Amino acid sequence: MTIQYITVLGATGSIGSNTLDVVAMHPDRYRVFALAAHSQVDKLLQQCLQHRPRYAVLVDAAAAASLQQQLAAAGADTEVLAGEAALSDIACAAEVDMVMAAIVGAAGLRPTLAAAAAGKRILLANKESLVVAGDLFMRTVRESGATLLPVDSEHNALFQSLPAGFDGDLAAAGVVELILTASGGPFRHHSLEQLQHVTADDACKHPNWVMGRKISVDSASLMNKGLEVIEARWLFNTPAEQIKVVVHPQSVIHSMVRYHDGSIMAQLGSPDMRTPIAYAMAWPQRIAAPVQALDFLTLGSLTFEAPDLQRFPCLRLAFDSLRTGGDASAVLNAANEVAVASFLSGRIGFLQIPQLIERALSRMDLALSADLDSLLAKDAATRALVTEWVAA
């Protein structure tokens, strides 16, 4: 078997660490080419010592210098690069077979898009790339012949439940709709009154999944599901009308595809991201993952309910932005990132998140940007506006 070289963008995060768990299980198949993170020196150092990559990247220059020094002292020959441009370099290098895109937020767009343009196999966790630049991203993938494999558990489930070789033609495949499941998050039973007083730590206590803080808040507000609806639209060429969301608190069914003949195909498993990661890494084969097997006899019941758009307006805003089209989703995402960061640092309340997003959507020009630079300029302008509102 030929060894596959992987670059992990966002290596120190929740998805990045889970990816390295799977890599470590299969030394005969995978080797790490490069690891990248923002500024977490200690964790990246430890990962470099274990996986011995050719390159390590830290965006923060001082952190990169410190990492280089500690690696040299430990006798490791990993070369450390600094700065944002290095992220794209390690994603595009000729030696790289696959790129795990696991940076959080729109910061992941440029290097992930660079990997797409270079025709790499992309394991996509960074859903924000598709939310911000879905049209451009999918066009780039088509033109370069890159392979795009969804890591997000819902989309990985949909990918597994669609016919092999699905080419985006829903009617030809006999598909009626995609059904995304949502856990409902930690505030599923909270009243609007209670939602006014929740804290960042409350939001980060997810009932089923251990994740980074940004996506944890998104899960609590249902914006994560909203971003996933937009992600599904691009990945599977599916209009908003054919994407449904159902709350399924046990997170056992990861999503479903409904067909014309009455069949529904679903993918089930323990809520552990190492399953979709391993699937994306090995597709079309399957490899072992260090995941607890699902035991139906101890599972109890699986339940379902409708999402409540009154208490969780972020999901409605995401559906609306998809229908509006243009740059609406990019504006939604930028406003959400600033609002979530402000909530995490205690500057705004939980219910202000959707309010700030709605205000940004009504203020910004939502016409489709002609290219990446103007799209990123709109992203920056939205962030500046929302930052100003938070400070006021």
Contact set with Mg ion (CB under 5 A): 152-154
Distance CA 373, CA 371 (A): 6
Which of 32, 37, 64, 256 is the binder for ligand NAD (CB under 6 A)? 37
Q: Note whether 10 binds ligand NAD by CB under 6 A.
A: yes
Which of 35, 96, 98, 107 is the binder for ligand NAD (CB under 6 A)? 107
Which of 211, 223, 314, 330 is the binder for ligand NAD (CB under 6 A)? 211
Which of 5, 6, 7, 11 is the binder for ligand NAD (CB under 6 A)? 11
Q: Note whether 35 binds ligand NAD by CB under 6 A.
A: no
Q: Note whether 254 binds ligand NAD by CB under 6 A.
A: no
Distance CA 104, CA 9 (A): 9
Q: Give the distance between the most distant pair of CA atoms in the chain.
A: 64
Distance CA 185, CA 172 (A): 35
Q: Note whether 16 binds ligand NAD by CB under 6 A.
A: yes
Q: Are the beta carbons of 279 and 121 closer than 8 angstroms? A: no
Q: Note whether 128 binds ligand NAD by CB under 6 A.
A: yes
Residue 130 backbone phi and psi in degrees, to 5? -75, -30
User: Could you tell me where the DSSP H helices lie in 300-351?
Assistant: 313-324, 328-344
By beta-carbon distance, which residue lies closest to Mg ion? 152
Which of these, 155, 41, 58, 164, lies nearest to 103 by C-alpha position?
58
Q: Note whether 225 binds ligand NAD by CB under 6 A.
A: no
Which of 6, 32, 34, 59 is the binder for ligand NAD (CB under 6 A)? 59
Nearer of residues 154 and 272 to Mg ion, judged by Cβ? 154
CA distances from 139 to 75, 134, 231 (A): 44, 8, 14
Q: Note whether 204 binds ligand NAD by CB under 6 A.
A: no
Segment interacting with ligand NAD, rule: CB under 6 A, options 37-45, 195-203, 236-244, 383-391 = 37-45
Distant-in-sequence, close-in-space partners of 114: CB < 8 Å, separation ≥ 6: 87, 88, 91, 92
Binding site for ligand NAD (CB under 6 A): 10-16, 37-38, 40, 59, 102-104, 107, 125-128, 152, 209, 211-212, 214-215, 273
